[in-house]
Structure 1
């Protein structure tokens, strides 16, 4: 079955058992994927997407029909009033930063109710780094509510802390470099309702990275006011070469557009430089590719459970994002796993990942990402900080067949290094 790769029989047997175990989960993923693909196709048809929308604009980009149509497609597919989709968002953190600076003002308070945000956003807030250009430097206060010991939102504490006049409640849907469960849209909806009861004017904002098209609805269709994410994750479908999006209430998205460009011009300017075709195509493929990434994650969880490792989420648990965490217990196993993932990449498979001091992180990080788009986490990748509990965070997989193989090659790498459990 694997004529082109050397994989030990122990791993092949574990993979076969894993495949049998996950059949019900794979069927559930397929059903969700079909639903989400339909809502994306409906958005394309509703907005009359045509060849003319793929034309490039230059200079100021006035009258770019494709740019405007792409915004409408995203808004409809996400269940939002409006959306801002741009190739010149350089990362998900950039899109989140534009949103935060777009709607927060000096003297406002941002309350994170999912604990401390992801590493790269901490310098944006002013929690780390030299503070230059941070929210803190602009007089915006930051507070947080930690998750419960079980990793769930502390609803009682959130209700206590939300008071009239609070400007923003911020939620991070994905787990980041933590082991807490990712948030489901139902949990986000519960928090949003609680917030609106006590502070109707409070903005509920969601970092939606890794969560798009995993469930059948998105946070902005279930009570959140604003959300943002990266196009080299789920919503770019493995086709978008760069970019990000902001979606939500129309007035708030407009404020974000003024921050992205200039007050008064907002979304009316910004040349697309020939990127429209890839962004449209990426959006169209996004539900299917997200489904393939979910299948890869489910299989990987089952495989490594068979090999004796703790995983989160388990193969048979519901999922709120595409991330699969594997507790590999020591640095050597962690590095071997990531190097095995790299060996299964279509691009740069010969590269040997090494831990390094990556900007925005407080310790060495190892990353495996042999991707067509540099750093694209919708393509099979794995990364981890070299610290306790020595867990690898794996995500992506443009197609299940190669994603499945990548997980097996990661196990093979660990076996060859003598660190795979007996």
Structure 2
């Protein structure tokens, strides 16, 4: 091809046809036109941009990466080209490279809210949570009505056990976009974690009303109904989740806990099929192993049940990425700080509180949930589930990472009791 040919650009009609095909969703035709134009005019960046967008839209993200890389090479000063490359790199799991593309987009266009948001997503998926929080907040500063950024910020705050802040941001997302099913589902998860189960149920049902085929929301509703003791309704929610998403391993596991199995059970047969699926993630494999373990117990196949429990626990250990050295260090911090805590400890006279907390302490699977359900059946008791307020408000004090004195302990007590009072509605 001659230099003269390379310098040419498509006709206005060619450009219009390409754009119209893409915008109207005629992706096959748009792909054909984009390829034709890139062959005839290889230095025409817009055709590569559209080709990348089309390939991404039809799920061919790996090919879209190549098209977007060509677009960046032709116009390295184009922030949107770097952004488009970042989105496709993120989709194929090349998170480190995606982050670099989003950063370059921000360098070229500092007020690019979407690039800040997606930079946060890549950081969150790599467990760089503080970076993610900063990026989402930057996106919100630049675009105050950015519902997706509020939602993303809420999800990462939940992951960091900052549940109150998570609730605030998820409610912001919903206020900006009332039909945001994922935000209603996320809010339900936060409310469940806060022990506000009735409110969580309402949020999950709202998510389902907005998206009746939302399998994860059906599953989450089921777990909340189960905790509330509504076992028949929980069972139906799990079954609906599996009907909508037969491979949803988590729903299979939860359903096994509220039913008994026989050898002809269709769910049991489906779980055995899923167990052989090499495409399952480690988390999904973990769920399926625990689900099959319960089913095998019901069927009296105890050796097989033990094998599944063992495999599930091995996977769970990998997923937790547990390092005993962290706990050894934590316990040492607690021990070394204990005398200072003791010297500053408060008395009951320091605070008059009408609320009487009841703490149920026990090892996992020891029956603490059952004990809570029994106690909270009393009209003067409110169940709160597993709470994270002690960690949220007191971890830095207990470790000696923040100032330890009567004032800080009093502040911790006030915050903790205020949360209990809110959850219990004064009960």
Which band: TM-score by shorter chain? Answer: under 0.3
Structure-1-length-normalised TM-score: 0.25
| Structure in which a larger fraction of residues adopt helix | 2
Structure-2-length-normalised TM-score: 0.25
| Structure in which a larger fraction of residues adopt strand | 1
| Structure possessing the higher radius of gyration over alpha carbons | 2
Q: Return the structure number with greater relative CO, CA threshold 8 A, min gap 6.
A: 1
